[in-house]
Amino acid sequence: MKRMTLSAINIAIHPHPTPEVYERIFKRSAIFLKNKKQAIHVRGDQFATLTYPLRVKSANSEGDAFAGEILKFTEIKLDGDWLDLSTLESKAPEDIKDSVSIPEELRPNLHRFSYAIFPEVHKIVFQTEIGQSKTSPNIILHFFEKLFEIKEIKEGFDSVNLTIVPEKNKVEEILNIYQLKKLKITLTKPNPDELDDIDIEFEKHLNEENADYYIQEYSSKKEEQLTPSKRTRAIAKLASINGEVWGKGKDREGKVITETTKSHNMQKKFRYDEKEKELPYTRFVRFAQDAIDDL
């Protein structure tokens, strides 16, 4: 049996007239990167780009998805020195130019990670493990953050906020720390259609102050503990996928514990048999839809 691991990012774009803005920004990104032959630096000598998203008919009630691939590769500096493993001596680029020839358009160490956008729920689901290829949710987050900072891609949008979806029930675990002494909620501007009545007030407040995020902090009295209200819990739940929830306190044994939603990324693991007659692309979309349904 083979294993596939999926994570997800919540994406909030403003202004947000309709869910089609998500489809549009991804298609614009893919076209821009391909036409410019440009890639995003993600870590060390690692770069990434993405393919054009294609519509996928969804089997659930969340509307159609759009799927493509994130392509991660190594960027080699051809103007640097080379190592001769037989002698352990260095070779200058001019000394090996006749024996080493790499076509300008080729890049080594390609790893392919499928992604799917679900516009109706503002989620990007992506592979972090498939076969021998592995990456981390934070690297994919960094890729999208830098991608959506490009002027030509962000044009027409005031902000694009991204948050890795945390483990299910993690925010409740933080709020239910046995002796919760400190609580910090960072809320970035959410999607308007994610809000209920209590949260609309916060979006209105952010707009009035021309702010992109809001921070709320609580500290308990010296010998007591925090008891988060229904209102605070509702705001924290929203912030768990639009920002961060951080808490500090003590467990039942008196040990100090610190927790944050950012340290516990959702990772859905799936097992499959390669012998089954199912295309890898179809299998990924099916698993991605299962992950969305379980959020």
In this prediction, residue 74 carries a pLDDT of 96
C-alpha span between 56 and 68 (Å, rounded): 10
125 burial (CB, 10 Å; 0-12 / 13-18 / 19+) is buried
The total number of residues written for the chain in this structure: 295
In this prediction, residue 207 carries a pLDDT of 75
In this prediction, residue 89 carries a pLDDT of 92
In this prediction, residue 264 carries a pLDDT of 96
In this prediction, residue 40 carries a pLDDT of 98
β-pair partners for 69: 114
In this prediction, residue 155 carries a pLDDT of 92
Rounded to a whole number of angstroms, the CA Rg of the chain reads 23
Q: What phi and psi values does residue 269 have, to the nearest 5 degrees?
A: -105, 130
Mean pLDDT by 10 residues, the chain (295 residues): 95 85 95 96 96 83 84 91 92 85 90 95 96 95 98 92 96 97 93 65 74 90 91 92 96 95 96 86 92 88
Nearest to 97 by CA among 82, 76, 75: 82
In this prediction, residue 275 carries a pLDDT of 80
In this structure, what is the dihedral angle of CA atoms 115, 118, 121, 125, given to the nearest 10 degrees? -10
Pair 104, 95: CB distance under 8 Å? no
